[in-house]
Structure 1
Amino acid sequence: MRGRRGRGSGVVGIFFLAVIVVLAGCGYYLYTSKIFERNAPVINLSNQIYWNLKSSIPLIIKDDTGIKSAKVSLSDGSKKINLIDTKFDIIKPEVKLEISLPKGTLLDKSANYQLEIEANDVSKWNFFTGNKLDALINVAVDTQRPDIYVLNQSYKITRGGAAAVVFRASDEMLKELYIETNAKKQFKVTPFHKDGYYASLVAWPASEDSFSAYVIAKDMAGNENRTRIKYYLQDKKYKVSNIALNDEFLGGKITDLVNRYAQDPSQIQGVAKFKFVNETLRNQSEGAIGSKTKDVLEDSLNKFFLKPFYPLKNGQAVASFGDHRFYSMNKEPVSESWHLGLDLASIAGAPIIASNDGEVVFADEDGIYGLGVAVYHGFGLYSLYAHCSSSNVKVGDKVKAGEVIAHTGSSGLAFGDHLHFGVIIQGVEVRPEEWMDKKWMEDNIYKILENSRKSIDSRK
């Protein structure tokens, strides 16, 4: 009898052990399975947003398993306006919605509002009801556009040239402030002299037939103001050169550059060599210089003054800025380019002299430019020295006016010893001749800044 009871209790023990193992397995499954995940959905909005009531508010909801439903309402504490109430037929881990007011809705702009956001996921957690997000977002209603007032600007801008502008911009919740041209180029602006005032240099690329520029201000609520800077536009006709290529030309410096920079030089033959150098390599080289010269490095500006640039003693111009070059082979069009610098020559290996103080931002080999040096002088303005045979500086060096920074040469796409001198404003190459002209600099830049400073000081 005792033996039978022992066998029976053993069976019961094994049964309970099996039950425990099964329950443990189920518990582990519930704990680790994605179907039973326990994380509530999350949204992209902070607990405080600004709304102009006109534009929609992008709402992004994310979840580990997928979003089942979403509700959004706007409440002032006494009444509620339903904005979104949707169930999703296709379950996704991320949904994008647009929160907007129904047409004809009138709100008290001085009242305090909250967005109430609910979202449910498809998890089987919480007894198969899933996880739920409940969020309250404070809404500050702001329908007022930022204020912009252009205080002063250069009277004119020449195609390929530069100009200055000083303006005032104000908004308690200012988010973005910049200048944008009709070609969608954006220029950063710099706080100028006193709070609320800003200044910038702008540039009209030589390759663009038309030009317009706007100060654009956006606030946290999405309100935007854009004010045109009223420059007189002075067109300039640049030299057009038609250059016939030949096999001898393709076999010299062009082949050398292909062999140095192409990934597989053997696959590039004939006129394709020139297209590689003049298009692919040129784009890479200009892009590298552009990336190093696009920023404004100071946080604020009170004064800005440079002496006219005179980088090469007794230098004679051998090629002009803005030369639009068209290349052909056997009378068939091959390629084209813009020469965006002033070529100066004197003697071989001539010293290149810094005309103004600055900081070296580039000193390296760069494709068609060969060995080049770029120096920052403030207010978004840079100078470029290319085709050098040697360099005396490195990135980060502070150079002083009168210092020899490099020597002329024929590196890169150069067919004789000379200096390719360039002036760049926030990545846009402009006419060096303007920055070599003391009167132009005085009339178009320094007087604008000085008169603006006096006008700001005279205001209460």
Structure 2
Amino acid sequence: MKKQRKSSIAAFVLGFIFLLLVGGVAFVFNSNLFEREAPQIVLPKEIEWNLKDPIKVQIVDASGLRFVRASLFDGEKSIILDTKEFKSAEKMVDLNLSFPKMGFGANKKVFELNIEAVDGSKWNFFSGNSVSAKSVIKVDTKRPDVNIIGSSYKIMKGGVAAVIFKAQDEAMKSLYVETNFGKKFYPTPFYKEGYYITLVAWPTHIESFTASVVAIDRAGNLTKSHVPYFLQDKKYKTSTIALEDRFLDGKIADLIAEMAPERSSLTKLEKFKFVNEDMRKGNEANILKVTSAVPIDLISGFYLKPFYPLRNGKVVASFGDHRYYEYEKQPTSESYHLGLDLASNAQAAMQTSNDGVVVFARENGIYGNNIIISHGLGVYSLYGHCSSYMVKEGDVVKAGESIAKTGLTGLALGDHLHFGMYVQGVDVRPEEWMDEVWLKESIFNVIESAKKIMDR
């Protein structure tokens, strides 16, 4: 009887110990204190370095990091770039590694970067999870070569100019023309390998204009070359327009009912502000998206005929007008007119003067039925307020082809064509693109002169 009791107690004790062991093992395997995932090191396998800008390395770990070390090996000896130990574990560590100022790796072109990290886990007998990562560092301190081959003599506010340049670097990363107002114009490969062409635009609302070709290689070496343009200022019309009830209760109310019925409860002035500001902003965003694309395939030339989209069309509103609206002599809203309004007969046929591809043919708010055609080199023509389409998106059109008829769609009070020109998303003076002399002097002659230089 006593033996049986002792056996039962022993079995109970053994079972209890077993359960403790199982529970302990389960705790170890499931507790965050004993997590088993090694830290993650964000480090490319290969880095090109100019020895000036720091190399950025990020290390993350779920349980937190307690030790990080970065070292650089030049094939003969190694040097510590950074060591960090943390009393309280850090879940993310960013390293900014700079090249030693002196006494290491003289004239070496290749190094090996080694990153080591240990987390704060209690795994591996409380020593934590460790990881290391290596990257081959290739030294490149040579800046890209940039040489301006030719450019337009001048650029007018609201207008366009050309620039052709040579840019070379075996590790080229970025190439663009930078302006003083933040816009980047991207080039198209031109005529021969290593040469590029782009058009730049000076928006009407920007007071001054500068442009520089910027080339950056993968190592971060940068070359900036100023493009010398003579700046021709131009004053654009400003006008104050008194809003009438028949316009607010008619055209504006109809636009809201058709395109934004959820806004029907707004007052008539609120409806006008919504159409003139919010709807306009969305419509112009659609245009910007479509007209920002730039060809990336090499071209050997570029030529356009002057644009005459509407036969016998009379100008009824000019480009660049800054319009201030008021109601009962109180300021209400404002906007810029980004095209040239042309009118002739009602539902007159409009033509494209140059070959192109239809990239947009749909309803677009205040622009009504709207067509946009790409003509290459980031140049686009726009046709608004169409009553009907004769083309669809994706169509290839030829010079002289009828594409639509004028109308009253969108924010149009009378039958007319809203004609616009865009260069890489920037609205520009249509008058320049309708001027044979301007096209020749500012674009085509620049191209031909640059070709002669490139052929030498």
Q: Does the 8 Å CA contact 2:189/2:296 hold for their aligned counterparts?
A: no
Tell me which moved more, 338-347 or 19-28. Answer: 19-28
**Are 1:367 and 2:386 an aligned pair?**
no
Distance 1:208 1:323 in 2: 14
Find the counterpart in structure 2 of residue 233 from structure 1.
Answer: 231
Find the partner of 1:429 among 404, 427, 430.
427
SS of residue in 1 equivalent to 2:89: coil
Find the counterpart in structure 2 of residue 380 from structure 1.
Answer: 378
Find the partner of 1:162 among 141, 160, 163.
160
Residues 111, 398 of structure 1: alpha-carbon distance in 2 compared, 3 angstrom cutoff:
closer
Distance 1:66 1:261 in 2: 53
Cα distance, 1:29 vs structure 2: 3.8
Equivalent position amino acid for 1:268 in 2: L
Equivalent position amino acid for 2:420 in 1: G
Tell me which moved more, 362-371 or 296-305. Answer: 296-305
**Are 1:331 and 2:329 an aligned pair?**
yes
Find the partner of 1:439 among 437, 440, 448.
437
SS of residue in 2 equivalent to 1:88: strand
Find the counterpart in structure 2 of residue 255 from structure 1.
Answer: 253
Residues 268, 105 of structure 1: alpha-carbon distance in 2 compared, 3 angstrom cutoff:
farther
Cα distance, 1:446 vs structure 2: 1.6
Q: Does the 8 Å CA contact 1:146/1:219 hold for their aligned counterparts?
A: yes
Find the counterpart in structure 1 of residue 338 from structure 2.
Answer: 340
SS of residue in 2 equivalent to 1:184: coil
Gaps spanning 5+ residues in structure 2: where? none
Cα distance, 1:280 vs structure 2: 1.1
Cα distance, 1:19 vs structure 2: 4.7
Q: Does the 8 Å CA contact 1:109/1:141 hold for their aligned counterparts?
A: no
Find the counterpart in structure 1 of residue 399 from structure 2.
Answer: 401
Cα distance, 1:8 vs structure 2: 6.5
**Are 1:220 and 2:218 an aligned pair?**
yes
Residues 19, 104 of structure 1: alpha-carbon distance in 2 compared, 3 angstrom cutoff:
same
Distance 1:171 1:396 in 2: 36
Residues 116, 413 of structure 1: alpha-carbon distance in 2 compared, 3 angstrom cutoff:
same
Alignment deviations for residues 43-98 of structure 1 (CA, whole Å, 9 cap, x no partner): 22212111112212221112232222211122213333332111235534322221
- Matched ranges for 1:95-134 at <5 A: 95-101=93-99, 107-134=105-132
Find the counterpart in structure 2 of residue 280 from structure 1.
Answer: 278
Gaps spanning 5+ residues in structure 1: where? none
Equivalent position amino acid for 2:255 in 1: L
Q: Does the 8 Å CA contact 2:188/2:295 hold for their aligned counterparts?
A: no
Equivalent position amino acid for 2:438 in 1: W
Q: Percent identity?
A: 50
**Are 1:413 and 2:411 an aligned pair?**
yes
TM-score (norm 2): 0.93
SS of residue in 1 equivalent to 2:342: strand
Distance 1:394 1:190 in 2: 27
Find the counterpart in structure 1 of residue 75 from structure 2.
Answer: 77
Aligned length: 456
Tell me which moved more, 38-47 or 172-181. Answer: 38-47
SS of residue in 2 equivalent to 1:334: strand
Residues 90, 276 of structure 1: alpha-carbon distance in 2 compared, 3 angstrom cutoff:
farther
Equivalent position amino acid for 1:339 in 2: H
Equivalent position amino acid for 2:44 in 1: S
The runs of at least 4 consecutive aligned structure 1 residues that moved more than 4 Å come to: 4-22, 102-107
Cα distance, 1:285 vs structure 2: 0.7
Equivalent position amino acid for 1:379 in 2: L
Tell me which moved more, 293-302 or 221-230. Answer: 293-302
Distance 1:357 1:6 in 2: 104
TM-score (norm 1): 0.93
Distance 2:244 2:379 in 1: 39
Residues 261, 93 of structure 1: alpha-carbon distance in 2 compared, 3 angstrom cutoff:
farther
